[in-house]
Structure 1
Amino acid sequence: MTTSALIRPAWTPATIALMVIGFMVFWPLGLAMLAYIIWGDRLEGFKTEVNRATDDFFGGIKRATSFGRGTAASAGFARSGNVAFDEWREAEMKRLEEERRKLDTMRAEFDAYVRELHRAKDQEEFNRFMREHRASSGTTPTRAEIDA
């Protein structure tokens, strides 16, 4: 590193003075300054490596979460170089997406069916309660209650 800054990662009078003052004020500050003097010239490379690693990590997450949405290229799949295979893979992905949509529709229909069954069961229980309540109180049931 060929910078002429006053505080640079080297044994200069300014960095030594800051290190000593750091130890006197709060020892972790002095330790941090010592680490900067010893390893500070590697910070730029370290920062570059950390940025590259986090970009790779989050890029992998992005590819994993976009699986099944769109074409093979947009889902994070690289082209294989074999046109026939790539076309087959895209067709299969579209077919699977269509199957997923059908399953989602069937699930929604089943959920509606179960809700209707619960509603009918609740209605039947309520009607039974009303019949028993009317019978125990001695009142005559209405025509709607008899039909239920």
Structure 2
Amino acid sequence: MHSASQDWSGRYQLPQHRGNGPIGRARDWLDERGKPAWLAAMILGFVAFWPIGLAILGYMIWSKRMVGCSTRGHSRRYNAASTGNVAFDAYREETLKRLEDEHREFRDFLGKLREAKDKAEFDQFMNQRGDKSED
């Protein structure tokens, strides 16, 4: 069976979410091998019997094992495990929130600049068009 391990400070840590039964052991085995193992299991599940593959995909999404696969169009929220230091975790969360807020403000600023540029170009076009019609 799994034994407790020591961390850098010498304290003992129990293994996280060690499952009971074959499903829990399979989950732990896949977790130790990372996302490629989960993706391979999902593909094999679809090949063997499509509801199994669908169930694995649903579990991967529900348990957030697919986090980080794509951030395009989504929040870039960094979801790290606790370091055990409450002060550092609070500082990290506050800093990440501030950076996300600044990123959103910058995107909004760029959007307003694009709108202003588009309006100026359109106004210039309309002025030139008006000059041609007077000829």
- TM-score in terms of structure 1 length: 0.42
Normalising by structure 2, report the TM-score. Answer: 0.46
Q: Which has the higher helix share?
A: 1
Greater relative contact order (Cα 8 A, min sep 6): structure 1 or 2? 1
Give the greater-gyration-radius structure (CA). Answer: 1
